[in-house]
Structure 1
């Protein structure tokens, strides 16, 4: 098949542009994760509390309210909001940065399109790694607040107690499992979203694509985000379960790989996917909401679009 010229334009992002990406990512992630706090409370309880393990999202929510009151559904809101503020900014800005750098390193539009899957996977993974350095201590605080009812009154008291009693080692006890959770999550989020958009665009003419209505853009972003959210949830859920167990503050001792291995064997396949249904609902809402908000905030503040390296229909690469 005859090759056509690839339409890959490498923008010259400035520090202001990356600041805009960080701001948009921070706002979209803190808003969506903060809004999902009640679902995350129930999901975490299902993962770590034997009293909840036979409950679903609805019955689990009722059980929390009946035993602890409605305010319990907002347990961990502070560390969730702050943690995903810094993590979201670093993740979205980092993804834009590493995707652009990868395209530049490959040296040609044809190579970028050919290896676009590797670009998506690598950019998402590296961006998430650095974002998780910021997230891990706050995620440890959130899970301790949720799993131990009277541990602390909120973000500041919970974080300071965890730091005082356990130090850096305790704050970063979940770093390896959080990487195992968040990197597959980011891969599902960004890679699947990219390919959903690519499939949609390849079914359109160039003119149709350029003149998409606001409703069509919203529908495309929402649908792609929901599918990407399902993928992110499934890929990351086993590690999410292990992270909840590690940060609960008990279990086997030894190196982190050993602890994860023992907990995984104890949980079994079914246990590792406990709470997947509620988390798929939560993650579909999170990811679709994040992409909608991210795009809207970038448009509102005049940030440039990210680099696009989709394969054009009929192009042999």
Structure 2
């Protein structure tokens, strides 16, 4: 095995490092959401019009750190969760108007397909509140989604290397590491879709029916109705999340960014746990 030291294009946590992170995230998320827009369209219509769209195929036919090394290791999952939740809470305030417009375009036959036409029309006929009517269910969808996306991805990466990959990450080629990244991302995406799907159904219905209420929709849809479109969404979000992590990690390889391995248990914690046995 070669002892040649890998050269990186920047220092970890430098300004360039964070700018590259931003660029990689934009490329990964923008391209994958664009690719899966048709499946998202089908998923929304399955949720709001089950009589007309009875299946996926029919739809297509008609989209931190705490003090101390031990604590940082033990509580890193909670840090991932807290960071993801707070970031998503703020992001959804800006996302809500676009989500409302997207769903209106996708689920209203004959409605304009142009965002710059749809948004002013919605504003002039229904007021600014129409863009935030679905904000609470959007939070209910996106916050668990993002928390699951980051925490389950990190845990899945660790489990894959520990139980399924026959050699340590440091001995895997970059291509092999990217395969593991995509696999972990897809698994994380499936979990994201499951925990956030009921709220996603409510977001779709609320933005299609501006006069509806959350309580009324829950009563109308019932337990099974609120899960309609789950298979389509699992395929969409699993693919989306897997590709996002794959593209983002691939971008880091392409730009020679430092990519630290999953954290090892600190030696002090290993000794402490060994002493309790």
What TM-score do you get using the length of structure 1 for normalisation?
0.75
For the aligned residue pairs, the C-alpha RMSD in angstroms reads: 2.6
Deviation at 1:138, TM superposition (A): 0.9
Which residue is equivalent to 1:155?
Answer: 115
CA pair 112-52 structure 1, distance change in 2 beyond 3 A? farther
Which residue is equivalent to 2:59?
Answer: 60
Task: String of CA shifts for 1:266-290, please: whole Å, max 9, x gaps.
Answer: 2111011000011101111000000
SS at 1:162 equivalent? helix
Deviation at 1:304, TM superposition (A): 4.0
Which residue is equivalent to 1:112?
Answer: 72
Structure 1, unmatched stretches of 5+, are: 1-10, 65-72, 74-101, 253-258
Deviation at 1:246, TM superposition (A): 0.8
- 1:128 and 1:182 in contact (8 A); partners too: yes
CA pair 130-224 structure 1, distance change in 2 beyond 3 A? same
Deviation at 1:305, TM superposition (A): 3.5
Deviation at 1:153, TM superposition (A): 3.3
Which residue is equivalent to 2:4?
Answer: none
The answer to whether 1:235 aligns with 2:192 is no
Which residue is equivalent to 1:186?
Answer: 146
Structure 2, unmatched stretches of 5+, are: 1-10
Task: String of CA shifts for 1:134-188, please: whole Å, max 9, x gaps.
Answer: 2211111110001112222312111222233334321122111111101111122
- 2:186 and 2:242 in contact (8 A); partners too: yes
The answer to whether 1:298 aligns with 2:252 is yes
Q: 1:170 and 1:307 mapped to 2: Cα distance?
A: 45
CA pair 222-12 structure 1, distance change in 2 beyond 3 A? closer
2:214 to 246, 257, 260: 260
CA pair 166-304 structure 1, distance change in 2 beyond 3 A? farther
- 2:12 and 2:258 in contact (8 A); partners too: no
CA pair 306-235 structure 1, distance change in 2 beyond 3 A? farther
Deviation at 1:308, TM superposition (A): 4.8
SS at 1:173 equivalent? coil
Deviation at 1:251, TM superposition (A): 4.1
SS at 1:268 equivalent? helix
- Structure with higher Rg: it is 2
- 1:25 and 1:294 in contact (8 A); partners too: yes
1:127 to 87, 108, 114: 87
The answer to whether 1:270 aligns with 2:185 is no
- 1:193 and 1:225 in contact (8 A); partners too: yes
1:195 to 128, 138, 155: 155
The answer to whether 1:289 aligns with 2:243 is yes
